[in-house]
Each structure stands twice: as C-alpha cells, then as structure tokens.
A and B are shown apart, each in its own frame.
Chain A
Amino acid sequence: MGKMKKKFASGIATQYISRSQAVKRLQISLKDFRRLCILKGVYPNEPKNKKRANKGSTAVKTFYFMKDIQFLAHEPIIQKFRDFKVFVKKLKKAVVYKNPLTAQRLRRNKPVYKLDHIVKERYPAFVDAIRDLDDCLSMCFLFATLPKSRSTPERIIRMCRRLTVEFMHYVIAAKALRKVFVSIKGIYYQADIQGQTVTWIVPHAVPSYQPADVDFKIMLTFTDFYVTMLGFVNFNLYTQLNLSYPPKIAAEDDVNRADDRELVTAEENFRERISAMNQSLMTAVGTVEEEPQMDQFPAATETEASAVEQARQEFEKVKKLAALFAGKKFYLNREVPREPLVFIIRACGGECSWDRNTAFGATFDENDSAVSYQIVDRPIEKKNQLINRYYLQPQWVFDSINAREVLPIEPYLPGQKLPPHLSPFVDATGYQPSRETVILPPITERVPDIGMDEGEENVSDSDEDDASSDEESPVSNKSKDGKKEESSKPEMVVKRGAPKRVDQKHSEMVQNAEEKRMAILAMPKKRRHLYEQIMHSKKQQQKEVRKLTEKRKVIEGGGSGKKKV
C-alpha cells in the first residue's frame, strides 16, 4: 500500500490563498497590502471549487492566487513601505521631543518610491499599456479637475493636468479621435491609438468640489500609478509620432507674445499656451511621415472580398474624419465650453480661436474674414451676426464628428431647439431613435398599455404568447358561454348560419407555435434553462423597444396636436 495522501496538500487548496493568510505571509498591514495590490494590479480570483480552496470550510473568503502572492513578496516597494513606517515613527518622536533639526533632516530624507518598474512589469509591451488606458485616462481627467485638499495633493492634480493635456495634444497630432459623446456625466471621447480603441470620460468643466462620501485615499493610490503610467505612455506616443517630449510649441515666436508677457512669467505663459491646445507641437526631427495608403488585396472568397471592401470603406471614412474640418476656421464664443471644442475641432483638422481676453492662446480675432464657423451657445440676433460665416451651436461639431461628415447647419442655428444628441456607442440592433427634432411638452401623459393598439407589427414579436392565447380562446369562450347559460336563460333564437372563415395562415402559425412549445417541454433541463435565459433577455429588449416606440408615438401625437393648435 502506498503512502497515505494528505488532504489539501495539493491541487486547488494549494493554488489559492485567502486574503488574511496572504497578509500574514507578506508581513505587512492590510492597508499596505491593499495599496500593494492596487499598484501591482493583483486582484482576487474566484476558485473553481470554493470549498476545496478553503480546505473544506464553507466560510466566505476572498482568495488570491498563491503565485500572485509569492510574486508580491519579491516587490522592493514593500521595503519602502516599511521604511516609511520607520520614518513616520522617527519623525513623530522628533516632533514630540521638540528636535526641529532632526525633524527637518528626517523630512528631507523622506523615503519615496518609484513605480517605473511596475509599469514595465504590468505592461511588458506598449500595446498592453494602451489597452488598459481607459481607466487611467478617466481617472486622470477627473483628478485634473479636483480642487487641492489634504486627500488630493496639489502635486498629483498638477501632474494629472499636465499629462492629460499632453495626451490630448497627442490625439490632436495623431488625428486619432473617432467618437465623441456629450453625456450628463461628462464628455466621452473615443480614440483609436495604435489599433486599440481607447474610451475615456472627462467631467464637464465646471468647478467641481470634493464629494464628502468618497474615499479619495484609494483613488489616490490608483492615480499615483496611473500618473506614472500615463507619463511613460505619453513619452512613447510622442516619440512614435516624432514629437519632442516634453511638448514644445512649434511656432516659438508666437509663444512669447508681448501682450501676455506682462502678466505672467515665461514659464506660466508656456504652460498656459500648451494647455490651450491651440498650437501644434514641435517635432523632434523635421521629417514628414507619409500618409499610409491602403493596398489592394486580391480576395480569394466572396466573404473575404466583402471584408476587405468593408475595411476599405472604414479606412476611407477615418481618413475623411481626420480632415473633416481641414482648412476651416472656428471662432468660439465666450460661453462655449472651450477645451472640449478646441480638442475635437483640432483633432479633425480645424483651427480655432476665441476672445483674447478670456483665455490664453487665441490665434485670430473675431473679425477675421477667414472664419467659417462661429460657435455660439446663446441666441444671437441676426443683426449682430457677420454675414460671411455660419453661426452654430456646439452640438453641431459633436454630431458632425460622429456622423463623420459635415452635417447640414439648419437644425443647429443659434436659438433653435436642437435635434437629439445620440450616443455613437450604441450598435444598430436595438431601438433606433429618430434624429429629428421634436418640439415637445414635458411628457406626463400615461403611456397606454402595450398591446392594446399594437397592430400587426408586434404580433411577430411574440407569436408564442399570441399563439397560446389564440389556442386557448375556444376553450375560454366555451367556458364563458357555459357560464352564461347558467346565469341567464338565453332567448331561443335561430340565426342564419354563416360560413366560418378559416384563416389558413393564422391557423398554421398557431399550430407551429404549439409545436414549438411542446418541443420546448421536451428539452432537457440544462438546455431549457439556457433557452429560457436567452429568450428572457430577448423579450426584455423587445419590451424596451416597444416601450420606447410607444412613448415616441404618444409624444409625436401630443406634439403634432399641440402644433395644430
């Protein structure tokens, strides 16, 4: 007989480790462990068999991969954490014993840690970093708008602002912007960076305050890492685009304009001009990259040919988008949110400017005869408008970029009720709202019951239900008749019989539905569950679409009624 095998000495039980065990093993506090996990990107994993991972116990626990924890144990930053703890203790002591010199010396030698190696470790290839850029960008853009406080030090905020501006400069220079969406939460941007789709959200640029219910400590740790990561990503992106990093403005003499120099230092002036994003950056070496052209590929099969054709069309569209506003000059009025508009207009090849007194970086005046569009967000009287340009609301720019063409201007004239701003991220499967403007009262009427006036089009949506009800109908009718007989004596009347029309199509449909229902009954449990789940989600979607369609109908009816009045 072989040696008895010990339980939980191999397999899942050794692959996973619970959090408390991990903390004990690493000999750090839970707080430090969390920080370490954030910085190193280590996360808990759901074991395939919880009970076995938990060595037979069924208590609820969080599990990490054993390998991950072993990997964490080799992290040099842990030593830095310990150093910091020692530093805090020493400093406290020095302060309590009133040794200002010691305290000062200690402060000067405060242990700091660098995250460069972690960035490289987490993202061995540059593409990996870009793939993971969504959260990083959203967080940095959020922090860039926060006010300085104890929990959000000014250093981080400044860095976030600097790096996000640099990133936007990259997107402008690379013409990588693809989609924009103004939501109530902020403005979403989607860019195509080296074949990766990167989406981020920027809060609306209104002074934001720090919410009390949010613990910024965790976010700060994340941001610490994200700042380092974004810095390196920016560096790489700039290098690949042949731009000098840190960014410099191409037109040097323009930077040192006399009018602004009186008010600010040269450094501030430079920073302001960079963040105005209105001037292109200096290239490191004066080479012009060739525009990539799509080659013609011989397609073997028909599907391949269509795929190639589709790719071609997409390529053409993107090319068109990059030069959507090429050669156009935009003048932004004071009330218009400047930064997003400058960003998207310049990313599509346009030029813009604004009132010199409102912000830095204006390049031309309102009276410039070459201005083709003036973006206004307030009703403006006709007599105050210059005749050689279009006055438009800002949504036109956003909608044009999403449509990838210069949209007609009529619906966007100042003072007009705007057409709805639709999300470019929604695919064409669900409900497709109309792009027309609806002038409408607030909807408070009750939406009528779905199915009452649904008509024919919705029958197909739920043939099952209909079929079942149809199938039931003779039975229920009969029962109703029977009840009638019981309750009141019907008059004996002989009526002329009418030939019963049989709807062949309908009856066939009913029969098919019945057959299907019966077949579903015969399904094995597992499959039936899956089928029901799929059908449930489908039905939910259909319900949503129906609801929206109904609402729209009511709105249009109400709207037109009002118009007539």
Chain B
Amino acid sequence: MSTAKVATASTTLKRKTAQDAAPVAETAEELIDLFVDAPLSEEEDEEGSDNSSSSADEEEQDGGVEENGERETDEVEKESDDEDEDGESDDSSEYSDLGEEDSSNEEESETEDGTAEEKPEKGLSKKRSSEKTAADISPASPVAGPSKPAAETDVHAVRADPAEYDIDSSDEEDLRNTIGNVPMEWYNDYPHLGYDWEGKKILKPAKGDELDRFLKRMDDPEFWKTVHDKSTGQDVVLSNEDVDLIMRLQQGKLTGQGDPYEPYEDVFSGEVMKTSLVTRPPHKRSFIPSLLEKEKVGKLVHAIKMGWIKPWKPQTDSTEEPEPQFYALWEKEKTEDPQSKSARARERNATKAPKMKLPGHAESYNPPPEYLLTDEEKKKRLEQDPEDRTLDFVPRSYPSMRLTPSWMPLARERLDRCLDLYLCPRKTVLKVHVNPEDLIPKLPKPKDLMPFPTVQAIIYRGHTGIVRGISVHPDGQFFASGGDDSTIRIWEVSTGRCFKTFTAPDKVVSVAWCPKADVCLLAAACGNDLLFFNPEIGDKLVCSNTDRLLGELDLSVAPTGGIASFLDVNDAERAVGLRLKLRHTKKVTSISWHGKGDYFSTVAGDSGGQVVLHQLSRLRSQTPFKKLTLVQKALFHPLKPFFFVCTQRSVRIYDLSKNLLKKVLQPSCSTVSSIAIHPKGDNVLVGSYDSRLCWFDLDSSVKPYQTLRHHNNGVRQVVFHNRYPLFASCSDDGSVIISHGMVYNDLNEFPLIVPVKQLKGHIKDGESGLAVLDCQFHPHQPWIFSAGADKTIRLFV
C-alpha cells in the first residue's frame, strides 16, 4: 500500500511503534477471546458487530502489509542497514526467512481465516526486534504471547474491541489474568482461574478426558509443541520460532537477537586526563609506599626464605596419605657404607629375638590319629592352667581342606609374639650340649671296693614300737636295742633270737654297751634316767666280774643334788638285771662311752640340752660346758683326749687335757643330727637334718672337705666301721647308704669317698615320717644293723 510505504520511508521509528502496537492489540484480542464460553459472549458479539468497520480498516491495512510481505522485509533490511552498518544483516535475513516461513504457514491456514491470523505472528516478530537491546528474554513471554487457537476462534472479537490500545503497554508482559504471582493451585477447587482486567472471572476452559487427549495426540500433528498455560488454562501451540528459540537456549547458543558484536563503550576510562576534573591535590600517602604493608611483606619474605612457608601443593584428598615409595635401600654394600662405631657396637651386643617355634604333627589339619586327644586327655587339659599345657591348641582332624575353618586365636598369637618382641627382657643363655654320660664321674667300681653289706640277711622282729637305738656288743655276738615300746632287747646276731627283754619305765631313746672288754654292761637312756643293766649274756666270768665291779662302788659317797646323781636299785629291779640308775634333772637324749669304758657322757634336755660328763668308777658327774645349750650329740675322740660337742650349727672340739676349745667345725647346715669319728681320729663325719653329710678333715680346715647329698631326707645317724674303710648313713627316706671312705696314711692324699650301696628295706612310718632311726656296724664283720620305725631291726651282710 502506498500510504504504508510513505510512512515507512519517512520515520522508521514511528512505524515500528505502530507495528509493535499490533501484537499488543492482538493480545487484547486474546484477552477477549478468553471469554468465549462466558455469558458475555453475546456482548462480545455485539461489540464485534460494532467495531466491524474499524476492523475492516485494519484488515485492509493488514492485507496490504501481507501483500507486500516481501517488499516490507526488504525495507526492514534497509532500515537495519541504516541503523547499524554490518552486524545486523545476518539476523535480519534470518528474520526474513522466518517471515517467509510464516507466510507459507499462513497460506495453509488462510483457507480458514484469511488474513486475520497472520498479523499477530508478524507482530510478534516485530516485537522481538524491538526488544533486541534487551539482553535477556524470558522464554515464557513469547510462549504466552500469541496463541494460535485463540486467534483462530475469536478473530472478529478482536476486531470488535476498540479499546485495545487503552490497556496496552508494549513493555508489559501479556497478562490477562490479574491474580498476580500466586500459585495456580489455589484455584484448583474453583470453576474460574482468576480475574480479568475488568474484574470478571476467567472461567476454566473445558477439560477433555484422557480419550480426547489421546485422540488429539494421535490426530493433531502439532501436539508435540502444544503446552499448557496455567494462568489461562489454555493449550498453547508454540510457533516454529518459539521452538527454535527454545532449542537455541537449550543448546546454549545465542538467541539470535541482539548484536553479539556491539562496540565497547569505555565508560570509566583508564586514560588519564590532562586536566584533572577536581582541583584537590592528591594526598601524600597516595605516593608514599605503605610501611605497614612493607612490614607484612617483609615478614612473609622472611618466612619463605626460612622455609616456613612452603608452596601449596595441590592434593586430591586431604586425608589420604600418599603411597610409600620403595627404592634400592641396600644399593651400597655394607662395606661401602660404613656404620658408626656406636652402631657397630650396638649390632654386636644385640640379642636377636628367637624365631617362632615350628609346628609339629599335632598341629596338622589332618594329623595321625594318635595325636588327637581322648576324652580323658581333653578333660585333663581343661583342668590345667593355660601355662602348663604342652600344646596351646586342641589337635583336630578335618576330613578335607575346604572344611578347615579359620583359626580365631591367630591374631591373639601374633599379638603375643609382638609383645614378646618389644616387652620381654632379653638375655643370652648359653646352652650346654653335653652327653649326660660324660657328666658322671669315673669312680672305682664298687665291685673292687668289696666287702660291704649288700643284701638283707635277717629281720629282727619283736619290738612293738619304733626302735630308737641299737648297740652292738664289742665281741659282736649280741646286740641290744631299745625303742618306744619301753623295752630293751638283747638279740643274738647270727640267729636273730631275742635273748632277753628288759622293761623300762619309759620310752628308751638310746642304748650303748660299755666298750670295756671285761665288763658286760649296757646303758640305756630312758626318760630322765640312765639305766645300767647287766644282761648276763656271753662269758659268765665277765658277767660276774661286772657285778663285782659295780658292787664295789660306794653309792653313799656319790654326790647328790647336781644335774645328775647315781642311785641304787631295789631288789626287784636287781633281779631283772638292773644294776644302777643315773637320774638327771632333765630328759636324757643320748649317751656315749669313752673308749676305756670308765667315762661316759650324756646329753640332757628336752630338745637338745646340756652335756654331762660322768665317771662311773668314782660316780661323779660334772657339766663342764654350762654355757652350751641346744647340744645335739657329744662324743669322745677314740684316741686322743678330745671331746666333740655338736650344737645345732657347729661342732666344737675341746681338748680335755688342756681344758680349751680346740676347734669349731662349721658344717654349714641347719641342724646337725649326728656325728661319727673315723677310727683313726683325723676325719669326722657330720650328718644333718637337711639331708647332708659333711666330711671334715680335722687337719685341714673347719669347713667340710666334701658335702655329700646322698639322701633325699634328713639324716638320722652316721657311723664309721671300725675295721673296714666304710661308713654308713641312715635317713628318713628309708635307706641306708654304705659308702667307701678310704683315708690314706699319706697326708698329701685326699680321702676317697665312693658311695657303694644303697640298702632299702625299712618301710617309712606314715604317721611320724620316720624310717630308719639308727644304724650300727658290726664290730668286725662288714655287716650293718639298722633300726627302723617299722618296729624291726634289719641286718645287711
């Protein structure tokens, strides 16, 4: 149209606004379109009829535009050329393409609606071009804007509304619903969607059911680009442009609007103006470097220099520690890389931990059946402490490897090993690899040291209590014994016959024959008394001689009132065989005769006591060692005028001729029980209750020459043989041990001590713990008598 053409030629801006106005008008039309089903429809119709003329005018105009579609675009091109020189051309051509497309689309729809429909589309595109400068375009607005179906349905309504420009504002969005920005869900329960500009309800359009929807989907080729507008309740079909725009947005491309190459306007320029805009001179500090900053920088520089601040190393995971790196640690040989002196010393002194013990057959998963524990063994194992068990596991057998379970205490075992490694004090122990046979000393064979008693020959039975003491008559035909049954028995050695039995008033502790050859006198310690018997055995002459000698004693001159006093016996006692009594103030525990048979000593006291020396011929008693208490035994030297007194821990040797203490032997044992002197007089044997025998050489030292531990229990008695180089010891362990004890005349040669025989036979008395209480050698045969707690006396030959 010519008019239009003129207008465009003159002022593009005006024309633009006019074109922009068109879509707004269209939106107004649409607003009205919404009232399709409303009761206002009649009114609309009326309006439509009223405005028919104006709309016709418009239509004419539109038609003109449409006709000159191509031309118009050309004009647009021109305009754009005017506006910006080159950048726009692409976009505009794009637009022109779009326009063409649109027109082609419209040609299709023209069959129905003619030109009316096309206008809004055009308008939209124009509108967009007007918005080019705006950087951001919300996708909602173009979508919400033109709605084709609405346009289709109510074309004439648009035409009918004359007031469309009144409510229009090109900047505002197309809003027909006035409820504002509230959730549309609030209107779910109402028949309307909101209110229009006039305050009238906008009713919800009819909603088809699923079937309709399905059919629509099947039939409508544009279903895929139909969206639902919540604010209007309408389905809106997107135009191709809109789809294109959405796709561009999705792909992050330019929207196709606006100039991507707009010139840069430097608002706040970096250029220094020659003349300052303000007159104020700059402050001094603006050109003096800051001291504070200098200080701070200085500190940082120092920290960097010192290595306190390190460059930050990027780490992927802060908590994760880096994998260790391995390299050739032992690349240099030990010789090339010498250790320090201290390190070498430490290595030399180190005690290496012993390796773990290797497993035996019992640990196998399938051990030989004999290694498995029986029920009894299992029970026994359970009762044991874990430390006492030989194996720290119960051997088990599994039929196949796959059935072998994991061993739970393995971790515990490893922990124990760890603890051993770092907590257990280490010590080097030298292990002796020695053949045990080599340890046994090479001694002369006992066979070569014969004779000595080897077998038990006779058992003398008769005592009804423990036999405490025995004494063999010097001529060797008889021996006497006394015991707890308060009897003193005289036995013939060779036949085992009990010749005589004397009943004593109390338990007999010790018996001793007088060693004098021409008397037959037996002393027996019994309670506080020492009883002297004449058993009247053997040579009658000797017996009568004994009686005669005793008869000569004048008891009236005997001193009384001392520690001991001699008493005469009555006739009844004399008839039994008792000849003399020696009454002590304390209990007599032991007697021993001097070799000549005149002197004898007793020890009186309940548990060890005082030594009392007696002279039979003069009936005198004296206590020379008053200060000595706890005396166990006292003994005369066989050859010299020495007297041996055993206290609990020492043996004191007194020289009786010079009245002085000659020596104190130190047996280093707790309680001395017995003492024996070698017939030659130079060696002493001391037995003790701590199962030791000490051999002393009187010429050399007060310490034992040898300590013998032959017995397992306390030694009760030790004796030397008068003729043979033998000595014997008896003990509570029930044995009598015969040893060869050879003393040489050559003083340079040490005595030879060889145990040769262990004689057993006595049965230990369970109640008292006693076994063999006394033993005595035969005076001239290699025989030995032993008195036991089993009420027997035994002879070993």
Question: Chain A interface (Cβ within 8 Å of chain B)?
Answer: 34, 37-38, 42-46, 62-63, 65, 67-68, 71, 104, 107-108, 110, 112, 114, 116, 119-121, 123-126, 129, 134-135, 138-139, 142, 146, 155, 159, 181-186, 188, 199, 201, 203-204, 206-208, 210-211, 213-216, 218-219, 222, 227-228, 231-232, 234-236, 239, 245, 335-337, 377-378, 393-395, 417-418, 420-423, 425-426, 433-434, 438, 440, 442-447, 472, 474-475, 478-479, 482, 486, 511, 514-523, 525, 527-528, 530-531, 534-535, 538, 548-549, 551-552, 555
Closest 8 CB pairs of A and B: A425-B358, A46-B427, A433-B368, A551-B370, A420-B368, A44-B425, A183-B363, A126-B330
Complex partner residue of A534 from B320, B367, B434, CB under 8 angstroms: B434
Please determine whether A45 and B427 come into contact, CB atoms closer than 8 angstroms.
yes
Which chain B residues border A38 with CB–CB below 8 Å? Answer: 418, 421-422
Residue pair B439, A475 in contact (C-beta under 8 Å): no
Complex formed: what's the CA distance from A226 to B109 in Å?
A: 86
B467 to A: closest C-beta gap in Å = 16
Q: Does B349 interact with chain A (Cβ within 8 Å)?
A: yes
Q: Which residue of A lies closest to B417 (CB)?
A: A135
User: B411-454: contact bitstring with A at CB < 8 Å (1 yes, 0 no)?
Assistant: 11111011101111111000010101001111101110000000
Q: Which of B99-107, B178-186, B372-380, B677-685 contacts A (4 or more CB under 8 A)?
A: B372-380
Beta-carbon contact of B760 and A472 below 8 Å:
yes
B376: which A residues are within 8 A, CB to CB?
Answer: 446
- Whole-angstrom distance from the CB of A119 to the nearest CB of chain B? 6
Task: Other than A43-B424, A134-B356, give 12 A-B pairs with Cβ distance below 8 A.
Answer: A44-B423, A107-B318, A119-B329, A182-B366, A203-B407, A214-B415, A215-B415, A239-B328, A378-B402, A433-B368, A433-B371, A482-B459
Q: Which of B337-345, B599-607, B666-674 contacts A (4 or more CB under 8 A)?
A: B337-345
Query: B364 and A206: CB pair below 8 A?
Result: no
Query: Which residues of B have CB within 8 Å of A555?
Result: 369-370
**Any chain A CB within 8 A of the CB of B410?**
yes
Nearest-CB distance from A332 to chain B (Å)?
12
Residues on A with C-beta less than 8 A from B330 are 120, 123, 125-126, 129, 232, 236
Tell me whether B401 and A337 are in contact (CB under 8 A).
Answer: yes
Q: Which residues of A lie under 8 Å from residue B423 when comparing CB positions? A: 43-44, 62
Q: Is the CB of B754 within 8 A of A235?
A: no
For A474, give the chain B residue with the smallest CB separation.
B455
A218 to B413 Cα, complex, angstroms? 13
Interface size class of B (residues with CB under 8 A): 35 or more
Say whether, besides A184-B407, A446-B376, A46 and B426 are in contact (CB < 8 Å).
yes
Question: When the two chains form their complex, are residues A204 and B359 in contact, meaning their CB atoms are under 8 A apart?
Answer: no
Q: Are A218 and B415 in contact (CB under 8 A)?
A: yes
Does chain A have a CB within 8 A of B207? no
Q: What residues of chain A lie closer than 8 Å to B396, measured between beta carbons?
A: 184
Q: Given the known A-B contacts A142-B414, A523-B439, are A422 and B368 also in contact in the complex, defined by CB atoms under 8 Å?
A: yes
Chain B residues engaging chain A, CB cutoff 8 angstroms: 315, 318-321, 323-324, 326-330, 333-334, 337, 339, 342-343, 345-347, 349, 351, 353, 355-356, 358-361, 363-372, 374-376, 393, 395-396, 398-402, 404-415, 417-419, 421-427, 432, 434, 436, 439-443, 445-447, 455-456, 459, 461, 707-710, 737, 753-758, 760-761, 763
A47 smallest CB distance to B (angstroms) = 9
A359, chain B: closest CB distance, angstroms: 15
B-chain residues with CB within 8 Å of residue A71 when the two chains form the complex: 342, 346
> From residue B771, how far is it (CB to closest CB) to chain A in Å?
14
B326 touches A183 (CB 8 A): no
| A517 CB contact (under 8 Å) in B366, B414, B447, B758 | B758
Residues of the A chain whose Cβ atoms lie less than 8 Å from the Cβ of B440: 516, 519-520, 523, 531
Q: Which residues of B contact A445 (CB under 8 A)?
A: 374
Write the chain B residue with the least CB distance to A436: B368
Whether B418 contacts A43 by the Cβ 8 Å rule is: no
Which of B329, B401, B426, B436 meets A44, CB within 8 Å?
A: B426
Residues of A within 8 A of B406 (CB): 186, 203-204, 206-208
Which residues from A are CB-within-8-Å of B708? 521-522
- Least CB distance from A128 to B in Å reads 9
Pair A515/B324 contact, Cβ less than 8 Å: no
A-B contact pairs, 24 of them (CB 8 A): A43-B353, A43-B421, A44-B425, A110-B319, A181-B363, A183-B363, A184-B395, A186-B406, A214-B415, A219-B411, A234-B326, A236-B330, A337-B402, A423-B364, A486-B461, A511-B447, A514-B757, A518-B755, A519-B443, A523-B440, A527-B439, A530-B434, A535-B436, A552-B369
Instruction: Give the complex CA separation of A120 and B447 in angstroms.
Output: 68
Closest Cβ neighbor of B396 among chain A residues: A184
